[in-house]
């Protein structure tokens, strides 16, 4: 897997012997392959290390619309994750508490008026 102008493709990976076989008949151990792969890509892309969080950096270079769409999607994903573990929002909790309080007050008023004899027929 030396650097040459010709392309050598992986033909097979044997998990038992942990060997990587190429289409030109050569083979290397899995550990050697990983080391050479890391060495090959080291400093190749604008001198930066590639990882999944690098996508924003590279998309920023391609198009402003792509970055805007990515950030909008990440914002919506964050909002969705934040609201998944909440059963009710603060406004919904206040509304339910208000309705329950009004019902309790109405029941208490009804009981008091009934016991005072102000509600004939009940």
pLDDT, tens digit (0-9, with 9 covering 90-100), for 64-94:
566 677 677 777 777 777 776 667 778 888 9
The total number of structural domains that make up the chain: 3
* Residues 6, 4: Cα–Cα separation, whole Å: 5
Any domain includes 81: yes
Tokens of 57: 């950096």
For residue 10, the surrounding DSSP H or E stretch is: strand 10-14
Any domain includes 91: yes
Any domain includes 1: no
Q: What is the pLDDT of residues 28-37, one digit of tens each?
A: 998 898 888 8
- Rg (the chain; Cα; Å): 34
- How many residues does the structure list for the chain? 122
Question: Do 116 and 99 fall into the same domain?
Answer: yes
Domain holding 29, by residue range, is 10-41
Question: Do 81 and 93 fall into the same domain?
Answer: no
- pTM for the model stands at 0.33
Question: Do 77 and 92 fall into the same domain?
Answer: no
DSSP 53: G
Any domain includes 2: no
Q: Do the beta carbons of residue 110 and residue 119 sit within 8 Å?
A: yes
């Amino acid at each position: 897997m030396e650097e040459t102008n010709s392309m050598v493709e992986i033909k097979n990976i044997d998990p038992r012997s942990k060997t990587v076989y190429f289409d030109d008949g050569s083979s290397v151990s899995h550990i050697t392959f990983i080391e050479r792969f890391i060495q090959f890509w080291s400093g190749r892309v604008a001198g930066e290390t590639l990882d999944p969080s690098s996508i924003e950096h590279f998309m920023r270079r391609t198009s402003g619309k792509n970055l805007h769409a990515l950030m909008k999607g990440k914002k919506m994903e964050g909002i969705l994750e934040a609201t998944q573990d909440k059963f009710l929002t603060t406004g919904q909790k206040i509304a339910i508490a208000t309705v329950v309080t009004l019902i309790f007050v109405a029941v208490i008023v009804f009981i008091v008026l009934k016991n005072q004899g102000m509600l004939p027929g009940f």
